[in-house]
């Protein structure tokens, strides 16, 4: 499996970023709660509790003070440890955090689940380092788009929606939205559907704690047709954030696969792009 790589520009000096990734009190603001592992015989290990993965055991393998940190990362009962390498570098404005996670082989958990996890962490780290930012503090929105290879195929036409969206119902409009994880398919009621010709489709999806809003659009950018989704309004009240973050991540994986199906249905190849 190919490693995951991220270069995250951050609105802070390199020294501040280094503190944010090494001081336990600050790590909890963006990565998860950090406590020493009290298991007898285990030394230099930490237990991490995150919004997306409940319990992770970390071992610090190497530290280059002020610059680089290498960890072994084990999700309890799921996979052999991966290796996470974090490097802090000066950037054009502030600093750049480079993340590289490499995996043992074979691995059963999809790589995309870790991509989504690091995207969540990057967003929280930016907020932590820029308290004046006006970015909402709720669960991160899903924002994806793909280029559709055919300008004549209309993915949001009522006759085409069921070909690529994970929805069902006795007819149009659909009444259920499905996501799939290791436990199997989950069904979520669609409470409302709004469409605007073949250019925009809005789904109000009930996730149990409230209604989320998925807006799917097509647009011409001068060279072709772009299909995009923006899924927002994830409940983030006290006690719900962790559950909703994990659910949102499963939804993002489903949206990525769905957009890829739309590209295939239109007669092309390609994958969704995170904006």
| Range from 6-10, 117-121, 249-253 carrying the lowest mean pLDDT | 117-121
The answer, yes or no, to whether residue 200 has pLDDT greater than 80, is: yes
The predicted pLDDT at position 229 comes to: 97
Confidence tier at 76 by pLDDT (50, 70, 90): low
Pick the CATH number of 4-129 from 3.30.530.20, 3.30.365.10, 3.40.190.10, 3.40.30.10: 3.30.530.20
The predicted pLDDT at position 237 comes to: 79
Please give the share of the chain, as a percent, with pLDDT higher than 90.
Answer: 47
The predicted pLDDT at position 262 comes to: 93
3-state secondary structure the chain: CCCEEEEEEECCCHHHHHHHHHCHHHHHHHCCEEEECCCCCCCCEEEEECCCCCCEEEEEEEEECCCEEEEEEEECCCCCCEEEEEEEEECCCCEEEEEEEECCCCCCCCHHHHHHHHHHHHHHHHHHHCCCCCCCCCCCCEEEEEEECCCCCCCCCCCCHHHHCCEECCCCCCCEEEEEECCEEEEEEEEEEEEECCCEEEEEEECCCCEEEEEEEEEECCCCEEEEEEEECCCCCCCCHHHHHHHHHHHHHHHHHHHHHHHHHCCCCCCCEEC
The answer, yes or no, to whether residue 220 has pLDDT greater than 70, is: yes
Location of each CATH 3.30.530.20 domain in the chain = 4-129, 142-274
The predicted pLDDT at position 221 comes to: 79
The answer, yes or no, to whether residue 264 has pLDDT greater than 80, is: yes
Under CATH, to which class is 142-274 assigned? alpha beta
């Amino acid at each position: 499996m190919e490693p995951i790589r991220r270069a995250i520009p951050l609105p802070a000096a390199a020294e501040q970023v280094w503190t944010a990734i090494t001081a336990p009190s600050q790590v909890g603001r963006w990565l998860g709660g950090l406590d020493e592992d009290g298991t007898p015989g285990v030394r230099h290990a930490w237990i991490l509790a995150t919004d997306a993965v409940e319990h992770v055991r970390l071992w610090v393998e190497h530290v280059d003070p002020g610059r680089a940190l290498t960890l072994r990362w084990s999700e309890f009962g799921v996979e052999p440890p991966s290796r996470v390498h974090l490097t802090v570098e000066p950037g054009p404005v502030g600093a750049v955090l480079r993340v590289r996670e490499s995996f043992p082989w074979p691995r059963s958990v999809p790589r995309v689940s870790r991509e989504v996890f690091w995207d969540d962490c990057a967003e929280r780290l930016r907020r932590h380092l820029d308290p004046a930012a006006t970015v909402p503090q709720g669960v991160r929105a899903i924002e994806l788009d793909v280029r559709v290879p055919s300008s004549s195929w209309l993915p949001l036409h009522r006759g085409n929606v069921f070909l690529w969206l994970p929805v069902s119902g006795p007819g149009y409009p659909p009444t259920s939205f499905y996501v799939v994880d290791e436990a199997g398919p989950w069904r979520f009621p669609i409470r409302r559907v709004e469409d605007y010709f073949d250019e925009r489709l809005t789904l109000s999806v009930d996730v149990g704690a409230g209604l989320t809003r998925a807006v799917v659009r097509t647009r011409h950018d001068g060279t072709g047709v772009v299909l995009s989704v923006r899924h927002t309004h994830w409940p983030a009240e006290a006690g719900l954030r962790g559950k909703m973050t994990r659910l949102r991540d499963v939804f993002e994986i489903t949206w990525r696969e769905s957009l890829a199906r739309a590209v295939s249905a239109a007669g092309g190849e390609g994958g969704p792009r995170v904006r």
